């Protein structure tokens, strides 16, 4: 098994490019199911989760040509509507095929994703929305079996009890081919949802309220969509935030290219409060970091608030601040698995329920640590960049699911990091 060996203490400098957003590419790939014509996707990140979802399309009978950052997908040949356990158990975002498969084929079976390291992560809101559109749903043998009514799904008014990114995405995709109008109230507003809506709108589907918490979609009444233009995946705001944290924790000046500063306002504001300064140009950000960071208080919330996907990385930063920081996780009930691993590196983090108090320490020290989920793993890498001595980060298959060439990009900035094999 691969692991990362990092020798702490190097300052970073220079520039890197930010890749396409994994969490945007996943729903965009799922949305290609809404079409029976070829679709081209560009700026895909080179990460395992993308390859997993493209593989699922081929298992369903779609044709996929994937090379570097581009995939040409033709789902005209799709002849199965069963998303099997073997794939869904590898990646819970596979649930995103539920809405489009049901909308295009009138029925589907998708393995029920289990819980994951960060929480239970139910999909009840996805299912309720599809039921409101007329679907009959049963859970049997570990699968969600969904059937549209005779003639197809119909539009509905859906009021989400809770803001859900995946639930909003599944509903938008199902609504695109439904009969009549669907209104989603309390929709998620993440840039990834805006990209999905814009993709569907580019296929002549009328969508109002893109980027807002109320989205209205006029469905095509069962007619598959045609995507004439290539879909370019937006920059990964979480990858960008992670590299800003890498610069901040090492007291460095670094430039990120191919980034959208508008999408990372919440992280920029927190970094600024910790003493960092920025030069923001079109598609580029340069961060200048102080020698010592000020402490920070964070509460995770939905976009445009502070993202749960940046919580672990900021906790790593907070270990090196000059005072105590308080971090509250509000989205997932178990997203603090990195705390004990950061403490193994010498951090002083006290945890009660969903609140962590991060007390300052003079120095972190290299050790063997274990990655537990994607963002927790990147927090360990950040801490290792400043820990004295050598840190080995194991179980990095979590990192490979969502960070494109992490060790390559950090090496390019001057970090001492190597991928080794046990
Ligand atoms: C997306 O997950 C992201 N994944 C996650 O990124 C991210 O952490 C999360 O949104 C929150 O921003 C992808 O985009 C592929 P949710 P998703 O539905 O859609 C509860 C990463 O590191 N909920 O918005 O699964 C749920 O348990 C990943 O890249 C229900 O109760 O998140 C959570 O508490 C990890 N019922 C909250 O809502 C439901 O039916 C938000 O979850 C659905 C969700």
Q: What is the DSSP track for 204-246?
A: T-EEESTTSSEEEEE--SSPPB---SPEEPPB-HHHHHHHHHH
Calculate how far, in angstroms, residue 193's C-alpha sits from the geometric centre of ligand 1. 13
Residue of minimum CA distance from atom 41 in ligand 1: 164
What the block records as the tokens of 209 is: 């309220």
For the Cβ of 93 lying below 6 angstroms from any atom of ligand 1, the answer is yes
Kindly list the catalytic residues. Answer: 116
Query: Which uninterrupted H or E stretch holds 38?
Result: strand 38-42
Calculate how far, in angstroms, residue 295's C-alpha sits from the geometric centre of ligand 1. 28
Residue of minimum CA distance from atom 6 in ligand 1: 309
**Cβ 114 vs Cβ 90: under 8 Å:** no
CA distance 351 to 358: 9
Residue of minimum CA distance from atom 9 in ligand 1: 165
- Would you place residue 422 in the very low, low, confident or very high pLDDT band (cuts 50, 70, 90)? confident
**Cβ 6 vs Cβ 385: under 8 Å:** yes
For the Cβ of 306 lying below 6 angstroms from any atom of ligand 1, the answer is no
**pLDDT of 196-237, one tens digit each?**
999 999 999 999 999 999 999 999 999 999 999 999 999 999
17: Cα within 13 Å, side-chain hemisphere: 9
CA distance 366 to 84: 41
Round the average pLDDT of the chain to a whole number and report it. Answer: 97
Query: Which uninterrupted H or E stretch holds 262?
Result: none
pTM of the model: 0.97
What percentage of residues in the chain have a pLDDT greater than 70? 100
**Residue 55 buriedness (CB in 10 A; 0-12 / 13-18 / 19+):** middle
Pocket perturbation via mutation, ligand 1, pick of 20, 23, 52 by most ligand atoms within 8 A of CB: 23
For the Cβ of 113 lying below 6 angstroms from any atom of ligand 1, the answer is no
| pLDDT exceeds cutoff 90 at 116 | no
| pLDDT exceeds cutoff 80 at 115 | no
The ligand 1 atom at the shortest distance from the C-alpha of residue 124 is: 40
Pocket perturbation via mutation, ligand 1, pick of 166, 264, 300, 335 by most ligand atoms within 8 A of CB: 166
**Cβ 347 vs Cβ 321: under 8 Å:** no
* Residues facing 394 on adjacent strands: 370
């Amino acid at each position: 098994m691969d692991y990362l060996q990092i020798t702490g203490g190097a300052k970073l400098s220079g520039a890197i490019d930010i890749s396409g957003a994994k969490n945007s590419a996943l729903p965009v790939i799922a949305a290609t199911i809404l079409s029976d014509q070829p679709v081209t996707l560009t700026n895909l990140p080179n990460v395992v989760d993308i390859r997993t979802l493209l593989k699922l399309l081929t298992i369903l009978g779609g044709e996929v040509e994937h090379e570097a950052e581009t995939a040409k997908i033709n789902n005209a040949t799709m002849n199965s509507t069963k998303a099997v356990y073997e794939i869904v158990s590898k990646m819970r975002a596979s649930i995103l095929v539920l809405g489009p498969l049901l909308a295009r084929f009138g029925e589907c079976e998708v393995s029920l994703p289990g819980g994951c390291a960060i929480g239970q992560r139910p999909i009840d809101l996805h299912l309720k929305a599809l039921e409101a559109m007329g679907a009959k749903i049963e859970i049997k043998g570990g699968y969600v079996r969904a059937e549209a009514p005779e003639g197809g799904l119909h539009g509905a008014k859906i009021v989400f009890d809770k803001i859900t990114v995946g639930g909003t995405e599944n509903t938008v995709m199902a609504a695109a081919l439904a009969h009549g109008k669907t209104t989603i109230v309390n929709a998620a507003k993440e840039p990834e949802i805006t990209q999905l809506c814009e993709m569907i709108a580019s296929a002549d589907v009328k969508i109002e309220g893109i980027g807002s918490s109320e989205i209205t979609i006029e469905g095509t009444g069962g007619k598959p969509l045609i995507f004439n233009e290539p879909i370019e995946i937006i920059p990964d705001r979480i990858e960008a935030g992670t590299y800003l944290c890498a610069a901040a924790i090492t007291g460095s000046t670094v430039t990120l290219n191919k980034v959208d500063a508008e999408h990372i306002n919440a992280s920029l504001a927190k970094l600024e409060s910790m003493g960092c300064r920025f030069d923001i140009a079109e598609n580029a950000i340069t961060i200048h970091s102080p020698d010592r960071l000020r402490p920070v208080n964070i509460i995770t919330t939905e976009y445009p608030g502070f993202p749960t996907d940046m919580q672990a990385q900021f906790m790593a930063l907070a270990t090196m601040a000059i005072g105590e920081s308080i971090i509250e996780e509000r989205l997932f009930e178990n997203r603090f698995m990195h705390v004990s691993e950061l403490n193994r590196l010498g951090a002083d983090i006290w945890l009660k329920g969903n609140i962590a108090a991060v007390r300052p320490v003079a120095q972190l020290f290299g050790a063997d640590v274990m990655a537990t989920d994607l963002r927790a793993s990147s927090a360990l890498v950040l801490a290792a960049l400043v820990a004295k001595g050598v840190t080995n980060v194991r179980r990095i298959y979590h990192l490979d699911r969502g960070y494109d060439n992490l060790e390559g990009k950090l090496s390019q900035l001057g970090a001492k990091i190597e991928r080794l094999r046990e």
